[in-house]
């Protein structure tokens, strides 16, 4: 199996065994689930230097003590050219590597920049809060923040990669959110602040930048302006090789939660590879 620009942490080799009998009906012997972990540190630099792992023994489903299946596995990087694509394909055509297939309009130049799974698992995600849009200057209830002035927005946030689809506020409590931005007497401030998440040797699919916005008033109780969920998925085929070549995705709106107003919060994000050394890992190819 070839993985062209994706990320895997586990693989299940599903095996079906039958007794092929040309005289009578073929009988089922057994079914196997051969589940492997893929540690990024064990990925060899090429097929020549890749070593086979130890042999594993599997029992069938349903269990039969008299039947066993033995397997072993090796994992190695492949050149991006192995994930080649014909530029003449239409946007709905199938892009074919030696294994997995994708349907989109990716060009051959983009495919040439695909990295192997092990490299993609050392990435950094930058999420930028762009602007809070609250032209009416109201709180979460729909009432004005200040009868005689504008809001004083105070923003805290948490970039959730652990349970991004969990209900608000997610794995952390609001006091554990990070302070991101504060402004005075401004309803719709430009924020332009980054929240960063580094993935070291793992993989991530969806992320949720959870944002809590308060009206910070020193004279009265702080009133909530809004809670937001900024959910997005990482496309590993668009991971840049480094920060200097990374592009921001288009600006989009977060999802407003439990609000009785039209307040909007805008964000954008980018994803790029980082050296394993930034995760404190010194990578030594197996052929050395």
Higher-confidence residue: 98 or 222? Answer: 222
Residue percentage of the chain with pLDDT more than 70: 70
**Measured distance CA(269)–CA(212) in Å, rounded:** 18
**Measured distance CA(94)–CA(102) in Å, rounded:** 6
- ∠ CA 117-285-1, nearest 5°, is 35
Highest mean pLDDT among 71-75, 218-222, 271-275: 271-275
Looking at 23-106, which runs of residues are DSSP E strands? 27-37, 56-58, 69-71, 94-96, 101-103
Specify the pLDDT at position 178: 97
Q: What domains does the chain contain, in order, with CATH numbers?
A: 10-71 (no CATH), 80-118 (no CATH), 121-276 (2.60.40.150)
Which pairing describes strands 69-71 and 27-37: parallel, antiparallel, or unpaired? unpaired
Instruction: State phi, psi for 102 to the nearest 5 degrees.
Output: -130, 150
Residue 141 has a CB neighbour count (10 Å cut-off) of 12
Specify the pLDDT at position 217: 73
Cross-strand partners of 100:
none
Cross-strand partners of 235:
none
**Measured distance CA(260)–CA(223) in Å, rounded:** 14
Question: Which token pair is 81?
Answer: 């050219």
Segment 249-272 shows an average pLDDT of: 93
| pLDDT tens-digit map of 53-83 | 777 776 777 777 778 788 888 877 666 545 5
Global pTM reads 0.59
R_g of the chain computed on alpha carbons: 25
Residue percentage of the chain with pLDDT more than 90: 42
Banded model confidence at residue 48, pLDDT cuts 50, 70, 90: low
């Amino acid at each position: 199996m070839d993985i062209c620009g994706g990320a895997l942490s586990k693989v299940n080799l599903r095996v079906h065994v039958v007794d092929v009998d040309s005289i009578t009906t073929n009988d089922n012997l057994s079914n196997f689930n051969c589940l492997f972990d893929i540690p990024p540190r064990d990925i060899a630099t090429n097929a020549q230097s890749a070593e086979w792992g130890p042999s594993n023994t599997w029992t069938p489903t349903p269990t039969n003590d008299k039947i066993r299946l033995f397997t072993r596995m090796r994992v190695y990087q492949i050149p991006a050219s192995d994930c080649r694509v014909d530029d003449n394909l239409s946007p709905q055509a199938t892009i074919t590597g030696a294994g997995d297939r994708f349907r989109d309009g990716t060009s051959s130049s983009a495919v040439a920049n695909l990295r192997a799974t092990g490299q993609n698992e050392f990435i950094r995600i930058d999420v930028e809060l762009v602007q809070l849009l609250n032209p009416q200057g109201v709180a979460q209830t729909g009432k004005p923040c200040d009868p005689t002035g504008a809001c004083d927005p105070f923003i805290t946030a948490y970039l959730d990669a652990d349970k991004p689809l969990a209900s608000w506020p997610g794995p952390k409590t609001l006091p554990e959110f990070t302070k991101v931005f504060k402004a005075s007497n401004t309803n719709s401030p430009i924020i332009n602040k980054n929240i960063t998440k580094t993935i070291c040797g793992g993989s991530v699919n969806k992320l949720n930048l959870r944002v809590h916005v308060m009206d910070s008033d020193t004279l009265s109780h702080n009133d909530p302006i809004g809670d937001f969920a900024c959910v997005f998925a990482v496309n590993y085929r668009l991971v840049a090789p480094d920060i200097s070549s990374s592009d921001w995705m288009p600006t989009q709106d977060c999802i407003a939660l439990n609000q009785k107003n039209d307040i909007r919060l805008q964000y954008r994000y980018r994803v790029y590879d980082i050296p394993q050394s930034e995760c404190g890992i010194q990578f030594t190819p197996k052929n050395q």
